[in-house]
Amino acid sequence: MVETRSRKAGTADAVAPTAASKLEASESSYERENIFLFMPNVIGYLRIVLAVASLYYMGLHPRTCSLLYSVSCLLDALDGYAARYYEQSTRFGAVLDMVTDRCTTSCLLVFLSTAFPRWIIIFQGLVALDLASHYVHMYATLSSGTNESHKNVDKSTSRILNLYYTNKSVLFTVCALNEVFFIALYLLSFSSPLLSPSLLKQVPGAQAIHHGDEASSSVIKQLFTSPYSAGALELARANKMDSTVPWIIASISFPVMALKQVINVVQLVKASQKLANEDIKARREKGLPRKKAL
């Protein structure tokens, strides 16, 4: 009996190194990969550079800013294609992509809240909804432990989210026109020829500036000790471009932008429900709630 057991143990010891050596050989057959240098992630870094550059020009140069911002947004579609083509889809890349999207859109909405202070609460609400919706959705996906992409949404969960995430044409169109609407609003902030006297500091002895006066070269001479004051920035933005095209773009893209906000609300609700269901399951596994003896 003892001899039989020792033989079995010896056999097991002989098999174990063989299995381990096979595993090591299998691992060594793959080159060590640097996730940070995957092509879609490199494109993501380029998007960040372009986005930061667009923010630098945002205050005074609308055409340069809009071009850089638009290219950054368009590269969002290219990194997804690269991830599929090179088989380099990673969770780091998904998070990088989502964080870049949220940050760039939030920065643009912050600018719009200063350009259109009457609607500041709307822009603040859009920032909060966008960040909350995507954060909760991503957290719910990663915490499920299924290693699935956040874009894998079943029809039984939500038909609109399933269509939004699984149909690439729908995803691109909704995201693109959502950004186009905010870019159009940004351009409209540079198309008003009217000045706000409360923001302007007049030179003593100069003629008074009244509400609704047009921003012209004669007005410039009455201003400013500081080129970075609110009034100076307003003057720099005034009369930059015609408002016709931005108004047309904003009108066309507004329904899609509104649809995107509906999707954000649905995503927030469904992700919250998913987290709550996971909490219920975890509590059941722990035997909670415990029944208290009467």
69: exposed, middle or buried (Cβ count in 10 Å: 0-12, 13-18, 19+): buried
Determine which one of 101, 130, 213, 279 is catalytic.
101
**Does 101 participate in catalysis according to the annotation?**
yes
What does 108-144 look like in DSSP terms, one character per residue?
Answer: HHHHHHHHSGGGHHHHHHHHHHHHHHHHHHHHHHHHT
DSSP alpha helices (H): ranges in 29-115? 39-57, 62-85, 91-115
Q: Which of 214, 219, 262, 255 is nearest to 238 (CA)?
A: 214
CA-based end-to-end distance of the chain: 56
What residue type is 65 in one-letter code?
C
Candidates 182, 205, 207; CA nearest to 197 is 207
The overall longest dimension of the chain from CA atoms, in Å, is 114
Are 210 and 136 in contact, with CB atoms under 8 Å apart? no
CB 178 within 8 A of CB 256: yes
Residue 211 and residue 232: Cα distance in Å, rounded?
16
Active-site positions? 101
